[in-house]
């Protein structure tokens, strides 16, 4: 199908009258009648005689000398050309054709309201040879319509029995194939034609046939066989002498005194058309019957010269035509650019030369253009239009807004939680790897503790002592112990000494950075040669570059998980006053036990920050127990890492920031399953998830959102372009794409569970549908 909307104008001559029928859309039409003036016929005949007199030698056809002109040939031709164009303009500007012009302007205005158009095509069909010989391309209808579009004229024969050519992709891929036949060169010079064709070699495979030393029989056979080549051709080029004929479709001179008619070539041309031949360029004389025959046969477009054409003008035309074609413009643009080139640059030297070339085309066919082949060309075709690029850019920038990302991530974790529940893809873990000790309001009341911020450290000592009795090995305290508390510090210090020096426990405490200095455990409480402290200021899985900068400041959750790995591997290092900071010791010597080094480095290089997976239920991540219950009840340990945290009491937090947050929707979903409505989550629960992810490597890696938007947009454009070339049903394709979109959602949900990769769905889907529909949208002129 043509990319642009089009009109069809049929001009039928019946005796002295002409009827003009304008057709568009699906059956809409308007008509007008106009007398064909005898003065126009006389003007054409005078111009034709002056034209032949001026170009008596070196034309690509057989011109009969009709006698000398009374005036200077150049002046005579210029005068008759001016008279012909004036007579034709006066005729076409007649009041009788006003309804057609008004209708065209109104229809174009309507198209412009619903489509972004730059040009409109007008297919002109003339019923008589007398009308066909007129230079219709000089009709300045565009300016009369006063429309903000370019009006392109393409001729179309009265009879078209062959169907239009199928898309090139149905026949072959790769470089275009061009067959160039150089016929009788008597009085002609093909040097510039050959040179012009050579410029196509980067985009096309060009095969040239010349007479050479072949016999006439061999030459004819070679031409027939070449045209019917099984590999097919995209374009047929002929240069030489040619003539119109009444019954044989025109004839081509292939050698001095030897010609082939198109009727003889018909079997070979039919094979070529069925094998993908779409376009033909006859850089020879008097080609009206040739063009009509080839379009009737099924070719998409044919360029011919309506009159005898001087060799020099023919060469200038073909050079410029192929230059534009190499720029990947379609044949309509190439013909118009070549005509304009002849008019502006060579009107004085070669008067009327620009009036001779004409383009014939099949109204239903797409216009031929040379397209680059290979993967680069394919990628270039997928590039969005300017409006699509702006929309994709805006969508990408919008998706990067933190609030938008949080909202989307929240929605996704909820969707994933529901999906896990519906598909029963939840691991029933009766022994979570984290024991979460919650110091809550009830614990404070039972212990009669009034000092909550900072927390009474003697209570932490009680909890630690109880954990030692219960044989807990790896314990983390999500508390900042940077300020002295006098006697309470000494009580906690004794408990810590017993844990690390006598029992070999692995303890980790919280810290923060203030003015470039890490503030953590006060020296009155413990020596950093025996315990570790890590940052509790962020809930990011990769808060700082690991492991290099971990020697300076390291995430609390990472150190806790690393200590658990060390304990599980029975590789607890010997700690002493002379061994140096315990954190440095384990980060340097036991980094590999974390099993994350290479992955962390890679994710940081590509700037992918894993996200916490709240789609898994809390019961598989941690087992919560209130601090007072831990102190009162018996508890058996199975090697869990213990995390002592605030239970959400009001005073909890650092530097005035509360230690409870809006609960992720996935987390809320699982809480609702156990009839516990919670819209908040405390920092300790978040850290429990992070420790769990470090231990199980069950983090979720997000696929880059911007890349997903670009891929989706490219896919939408690729599918739309494929539909355009195949001509399949648009409605059927939209339905299939809807199914494909749902299938992608299901696959992305499962990939999240199985591969632990978060493939975004919402914004890529919006990008896909926007690009797809704007590339595919049904034009108003098709309705």
745-781, pLDDT tens digit by residue? Answer: 999 999 999 999 999 999 999 999 999 998 876 444 4
pLDDT (tens digit, 9 = 90+) per residue, 47-59? 999 999 999 865 6
pLDDT (tens digit, 9 = 90+) per residue, 140-187? 998 888 777 899 999 999 988 877 766 666 666 678 999 999 999 998
CA 158 from centroid of its chain's CA atoms = 41
pLDDT at position 780, please? 40
Q: Is residue 146 part of a domain?
A: yes
Q: Is the backbone of residue 683 left (phi > 0), alpha (psi -120 to 50) or beta?
A: alpha
Which residues are within 8 A (CB) of 755 and not within 5 positions of it... i.e. 6 or more apart?
Answer: none
Whether 426 has a pLDDT exceeding 60, the answer reads yes
CA distance 164 to 438: 78
75-79, 244-248, 724-728: segment of lowest average pLDDT: 724-728
Which secondary-structure segment (H or E) carries 584?
helix 582-589
CA distance 423 to 415: 12
CA distance 204 to 169: 15
The 3-class secondary structure across 689-712, one letter per residue, is HHHHHHHHCCCEEECCHHHHHHHH
**Are residue 249 and residue 193 in the same domain, yes or no?**
yes
Domain that holds residue 91: 6-155
Q: Is residue 413 part of a domain?
A: no
**Are residue 145 and residue 175 in the same domain, yes or no?**
no
Domain-ending residue, one of 666, 698, 730? 698
DSSP 133: T
CA distance 600 to 607: 10
For the stretch 81-84, contacts whose Cβ atoms lie closer than 8 Å and that sit 24 or more positions apart, written own/partner, are: 81/47, 81/50, 81/351, 81/352, 81/355, 83/43, 83/46, 83/47, 84/40, 84/43, 84/44, 84/46, 84/47, 84/135
Give the pLDDT mean for 581-590: 81
Contact 138, 56 (CB under 8 A): no
CA 213 from centroid of its chain's CA atoms = 53
Whether 392 has a pLDDT exceeding 80, the answer reads yes
Q: Is residue 510 part of a domain?
A: yes
pLDDT (tens digit, 9 = 90+) per residue, 220-273? 999 999 999 999 999 999 999 999 988 888 999 999 999 999 999 999 999 999
Which of these, 566, 561, 493, 555, lies nearest to 530 by C-alpha position? 493
Which residue do the tokens 């440095």 mark? 584
pTM of the model: 0.65
Contact 309, 339 (CB under 8 A): no
Q: Is 194 helix (H, G, I), strand (E, B) or coil?
A: helix
CA distance 636 to 498: 20
Which of these, 496, 410, 447, lies nearest to 681 by C-alpha position? 410
- Other CB atoms within a 10 A radius of the CB of residue 355 amount to 22
Give the β-pairing of 660-662 and 680-682. Answer: antiparallel
Whether 68 has a pLDDT exceeding 70, the answer reads no
- Other CB atoms within a 10 A radius of the CB of residue 502 amount to 9
C-alpha dist (Å) from residue 200 to 69, 179, 194, 205, 223: 42, 12, 10, 8, 21
**Are residue 346 and residue 485 in the same domain, yes or no?**
no
Q: Is residue 407 part of a domain?
A: no
Alpha helices in 213-261 (DSSP H): 216-227
**Phi and psi at residue 634, in whole multiples of 5°?**
-75, 145
Mean pLDDT, the chain, integer: 88
Rounded to a whole number, what is the distance in angstroms from the first to the last CA of the chain?
A: 14
CATH classification at residue 238: 3.40.50.1460
Whether 63 has a pLDDT exceeding 60, the answer reads no
Q: Helices 38-54 and 73-92 sit at what angle, rounded to 10 degrees?
A: 150
Q: Is the peptide bond before 502 cis (omega within 30 degrees of 0)?
A: no
Whether 62 has a pLDDT exceeding 60, the answer reads no
**Are residue 581 and residue 540 in the same domain, yes or no?**
yes
**Are residue 22 and residue 119 in the same domain, yes or no?**
yes
Which of these, 270, 281, 327, lies nearest to 304 by C-alpha position? 281
Which residues are within 8 A (CB) of 303 and not within 5 positions of it... i.e. 6 or more apart?
Answer: 279, 280, 281, 282, 291, 321, 331, 335, 357, 358, 359, 360
pLDDT at position 778, please? 46
pLDDT at position 64, please? 45
Q: Is residue 415 part of a domain?
A: no
Domain-ending residue, one of 679, 698, 717? 698
Which secondary-structure segment (H or E) carries 444?
helix 441-447
**Are residue 728 and residue 694 in the same domain, yes or no?**
no
Angle at 507 between CA 502 and CA 509, to 5 degrees: 140
pLDDT at position 3, please? 59
Which residues are within 8 A (CB) of 723 and not within 5 positions of it... i.e. 6 or more apart?
Answer: 730, 733, 776
Highest mean pLDDT pick, 177-186, 369-378, 448-457? 177-186
Q: Is residue 461 part of a domain?
A: yes
CATH classification at residue 124: 3.30.420
Give the pLDDT mean for 388-392: 93
Give the pLDDT mean for 43-49: 97
Which of these, 227, 208, 240, 310, lies nearest to 270 by C-alpha position? 227
Please, which residues bridge with residue 110 across strands?
none
pLDDT (tens digit, 9 = 90+) per residue, 200-223? 888 899 999 999 899 999 999 999
Count of domains forming the chain? 4
Q: Is residue 720 part of a domain?
A: yes
Q: Using pLDDT thresholds of 50, 70 and 90, give the confidence band for residue 544.
A: very low
Which residue do the tokens 């239903």 mark? 364
Whether 535 has a pLDDT exceeding 50, the answer reads yes
Give the pLDDT mean for 658-677: 88
**Phi and psi at residue 396, in whole multiples of 5°?**
-65, -45
Bigger pLDDT: 147 vs 482 = 482
**Are residue 486 and residue 591 in the same domain, yes or no?**
yes
Q: Helices 556-568 and 683-696 sit at what angle, rounded to 10 degrees?
A: 40
Contact 550, 489 (CB under 8 A): no
Query: What is the Cα gyration radius of the chain?
Result: 42
pLDDT at position 364, please? 85
390-394, 525-529, 608-612, 739-743: segment of lowest average pLDDT: 608-612
Whether 118 has a pLDDT exceeding 60, the answer reads yes
Domain-ending residue, one of 663, 698, 733? 698
**Are residue 590 and residue 609 in the same domain, yes or no?**
yes
Contact 123, 7 (CB under 8 A): yes
pLDDT at position 604, please? 56
pLDDT (tens digit, 9 = 90+) per residue, 284-302? 999 999 999 999 999 999 9
Which of these, 434, 462, 435, lies nearest to 446 by C-alpha position? 462
Q: Is residue 543 part of a domain?
A: yes
Q: State both tokens at 210.
A: 């010349």
Angle at 187 between CA 181 and CA 188, to 5 degrees: 40
**Are residue 145 and residue 101 in the same domain, yes or no?**
yes
Contact 475, 464 (CB under 8 A): yes
Give the β-pairing of 6-14 and 17-24. Answer: antiparallel
181-190, 344-353, 357-366, 534-543: segment of lowest average pLDDT: 534-543
Q: State both tokens at 623.
A: 């087992």
Which secondary-structure segment (H or E) carries 341?
helix 331-346
CA 182 from centroid of its chain's CA atoms = 43
C-alpha dist (Å) from residue 36 to 19, 39, 296, 500: 10, 9, 27, 112
Q: Using pLDDT thresholds of 50, 70 and 90, give the confidence band for residue 783.
A: very low
Alpha helices in 606-729 (DSSP H): 627-632, 665-673, 683-696, 705-726
**Are residue 83 and residue 229 in the same domain, yes or no?**
no
Bigger pLDDT: 204 vs 726 = 204
Give the β-pairing of 119-126 and 204-209. Answer: unpaired
Whether 634 has a pLDDT exceeding 80, the answer reads yes
**Are residue 648 and residue 710 in the same domain, yes or no?**
no
CA distance 749 to 739: 15
**Are residue 310 and residue 340 in the same domain, yes or no?**
yes
- Other CB atoms within a 10 A radius of the CB of residue 675 amount to 6
pLDDT at position 1, please? 52
Q: Using pLDDT thresholds of 50, 70 and 90, give the confidence band for residue 69.
A: very low
C-alpha dist (Å) from residue 418 to 407, 754, 759: 17, 15, 17
Q: Using pLDDT thresholds of 50, 70 and 90, give the confidence band for residue 575.
A: confident
């Amino acid at each position: 199908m043509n990319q642009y909307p089009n009109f069809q104008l049929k001009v039928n001559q019946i005796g002295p009258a002409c009827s003009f029928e304008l057709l568009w859309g699906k059956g809409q039409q308007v008509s007008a009648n106009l007398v064909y003036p005898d003065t126009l016929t006389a003007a054409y005949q005078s111009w034709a005689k002056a034209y032949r007199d001026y170009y008596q030698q070196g034309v690509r056809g057989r011109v009969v000398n009709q006698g000398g002109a009374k005036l200077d040939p150049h002046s005579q031709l210029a005068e008759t050309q001016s008279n012909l164009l004036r007579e034709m303009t006066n005729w076409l500007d007649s009041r009788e054709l006003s309804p057609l012009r008004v209708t065209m302007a109104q229809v174009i205005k309507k198209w412009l309201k619903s489509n972004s158009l730059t040009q409109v095509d007008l297919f002109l069909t003339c019923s008589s040879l007398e009308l066909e010989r007129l230079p219709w391309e000089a009709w300045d209808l565009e300016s009369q319509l006063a429309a903000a579009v370019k009006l392109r004229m393409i001729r179309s024969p009265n009879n078209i029995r062959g169907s239009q050519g199928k898309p090139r992709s149905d026949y072959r891929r790769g470089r275009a194939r061009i067959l160039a036949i150089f016929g009788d060169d008597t009085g002609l010079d093909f040097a510039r034609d050959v040179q012009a064709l050579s410029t196509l070699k980067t985009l096309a495979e060009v095969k040239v046939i010349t007479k050479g030393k072949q016999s006439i029989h061999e030459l004819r056979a070679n031409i027939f066989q070449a045209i019917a080549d099984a590999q097919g051709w995209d374009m047929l080029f002929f240069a030489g002498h040619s003539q119109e004929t009444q019954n044989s479709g025109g004839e081509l001179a292939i050698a001095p005194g030897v010609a082939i008619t198109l009727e003889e070539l018909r079997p070979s041309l039919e094979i070529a058309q069925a094998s993908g031949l779409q376009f033909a360029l006859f850089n020879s004389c008097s080609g009206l019957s040739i063009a009509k025959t080839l379009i009737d046969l099924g070719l998409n477009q044919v360029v011919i010269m309506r009159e005898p054409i001087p060799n020099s003008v023919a060469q200038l035309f073909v050079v410029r035509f192929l230059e534009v074609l190499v720029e990947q413009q379609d044949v309509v643009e190439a013909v118009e650019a070549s005509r304009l080139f002849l008019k502006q640059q060579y009107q004085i030297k070669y008067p009327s030369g620009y009036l001779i070339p004409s383009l014939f085309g099949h109204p239903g066919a797409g216009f031929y253009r040379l397209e680059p082949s290979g993967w680069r060309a394919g990628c270039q075709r997928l590039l969005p239009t300017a409006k699509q690029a702006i929309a994709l850019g805006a969508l990408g920038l919008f998706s990067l807004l933190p609030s938008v990302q949080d909202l989307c991530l929240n929605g996704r974790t909820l969707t994933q939680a529901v999906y896990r529940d519906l598909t029963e893809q939840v691991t029933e873990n009766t022994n979570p790897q984290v024991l979460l000790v919650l110091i809550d309001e009830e614990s404070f009341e039972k212990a009669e503790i009034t000092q909550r911020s900072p927390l009474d450290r003697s209570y932490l000592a009680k909890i630690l002592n109880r954990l030692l009795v219960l044989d807990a090995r790896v314990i983390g305290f999500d508390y900042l112990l940077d300020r002295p508390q006098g006697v309470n510090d000494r009580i906690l210090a004794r408990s810590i000494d017993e844990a690390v020096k006598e029992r070999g426990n692995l303890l980790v405490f919280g810290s923060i950075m203030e003015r470039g200095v890490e503030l953590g455990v006060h020296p009155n409480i413990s020596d950093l040669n025996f315990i570790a402290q890590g940052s509790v200021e962020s809930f990011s899985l990769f808060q700082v570059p690991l492991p290099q900068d971990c020697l300076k400041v390291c995430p609390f959750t990472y150190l806790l998980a690393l200590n658990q790995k060390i304990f599980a591997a029975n590789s607890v290092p010997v700690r002493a006053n002379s061994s140096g900071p315990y954190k440095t010791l384990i980060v340097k010597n036991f980094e590999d036990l974390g099993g994350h080094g290479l992955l962390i480095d890679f994710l940081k290089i590509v700037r992918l920050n894993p996200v916490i997976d709240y789609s898994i239920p809390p019961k598989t991540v941690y087992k919560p127990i209130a601090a007072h219950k831990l102190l009162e009840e018996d508890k058996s340990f199975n090697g869990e890492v213990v995390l002592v945290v605030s239970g959400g009491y009001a005073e909890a937090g650092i530097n005035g920031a509360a230690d409870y947050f809006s609960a992720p929707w996935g987390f809320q979903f699982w809480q609702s399953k156990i009839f516990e409505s919670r819209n908040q989550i405390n920092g300790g629960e978040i850290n429990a998830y992070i420790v769990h992810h470090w231990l199980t490597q069950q983090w979720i890696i997000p696929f880059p959102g911007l890349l997903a938007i670009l891929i989706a947009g490219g896919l939408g454009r690729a599918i739309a372009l494929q539909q355009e070339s195949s001509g399949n049903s648009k409605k059927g394709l939209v339905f299939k794409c809807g199914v494909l979109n749902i299938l992608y959602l299901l696959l992305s949900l499962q990939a999240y569970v199985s591969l632990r990769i978060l493939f975004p769905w919402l914004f890529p889907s919006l990008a896909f549908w926007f690009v797809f529909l704007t590339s595919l949208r049904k034009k108003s002129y098709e309705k």
